[in-house]
Amino acid sequence: MAEHEPSETQRPPIASAHVPVPTAPSSPAAESAPRRDIVTLSFADPLRWLARGWRDMQSAMGIALFYGFCFWGMALSLSAVFLHLPLYTMSLVSGCLLVGPFLAMGLYEVSRQREQGRATDLASSLTCWDRHLGSMALLVLVLLLLELLWGRASLVVFAVFFNTGMPSTAGVLQAVFNPDNWAFVAVYAAVGGVFAGLVFATSVVSIPMILDRDTDAISASITSLQVFFGNLAVMLFWGALITGLVVLAFIPWGLGLLIIGPWLGHATWHAYRGSVRWLD
């Protein structure tokens, strides 16, 4: 599918990793392994990814709305549990982390089909993950462990600042918006930011890479971390755009997720294609 703009894979790579080092002869398997470079990104690239993701979504709006309703349903479930059964919120978040990557992979598959000039269909997007189940399971396990550590760290922060145990939903909101609790808010936000950054850095291109190259979860996660830290400022900008759009999507009643959810899914595919250049 031709586009009248610079190709995502024609950007200068960050310093090439292929530096000759005296080592023992490499195995045939290592020599045949696919090689890739991490592309140097600019602040215009995230906007380009969003534009291309928007076009993908418009070309398959029916599929996009299906996934949008799935994301919206997950958000409504989280909100209901947080309001009425806050102790089970982390459990439901864990469930969303198990389901979310597989939903996102369906959107990546639609973008890949368009990129390859193939017809898009919902059935293939729903089953594309079954060829990568092992890698996806390991990656989801890593994300789940990070989420559990995040939850434990949050409990520690609450325990330090509140000696009455875990507050109720109203107590949490009151604590967050009470200006007298600025120290709690600062620490809680810092802890959450660290773990959110780890999750984002690990997954920013890993799931599209697993779909595209059928690679293992460890290699995909390492590549994702290299993309994140190799283009730190741009990736932080990309993360801020995602966060801002998701916050906007929740006003009102999370209805914006019907559009913004699939839009970001398609854009993430283009983020992967624009960040990683394959040399084989």
Overall domain count for the chain: 1
Cα–Cα distance for residue pair 63/88, rounded to 1 Å: 31
266 found inside a domain: yes
Report if residue 34 sits inside a domain: no
Q: pLDDT by residue for the chain (280 residues), tens digit each?
A: 444 455 555 555 554 444 444 444 444 434 445 688 999 999 999 999 999 999 999 999 999 999 999 999 988 888 787 777 665 665 566 566 667 777 889 999 999 999 999 999 999 999 888 888 889 889 888 888 887 888 788 778 877 877 666 555 556 666 666 777 788 888 888 888 888 889 899 999 999 999 999 999 999 999 999 999 999 999 999 999 998 998 898 888 889 999 999 999 999 999 999 999 998 7
Tell me the C-alpha distance between 224 and 203, whole Å.
6
Residue 169 within a domain: yes
Q: What is the DSSP string of 75-142?
A: HHHHHHHHHH-GGGHHHHHHHHHHHHHHHHHHHHHHHHHHHTTPPP-HHHHHHGGGGGHHHHHHHHHH
Q: Tell me if 48 is assigned to some domain.
A: yes
C-alpha 138/C-alpha 220 separation (Å) is: 11
Instruction: Note whether residue 213 is domain-resident.
Output: yes
pTM (predicted TM-score): 0.79
35 lies in some domain: no
Parent domain of 238: 41-278
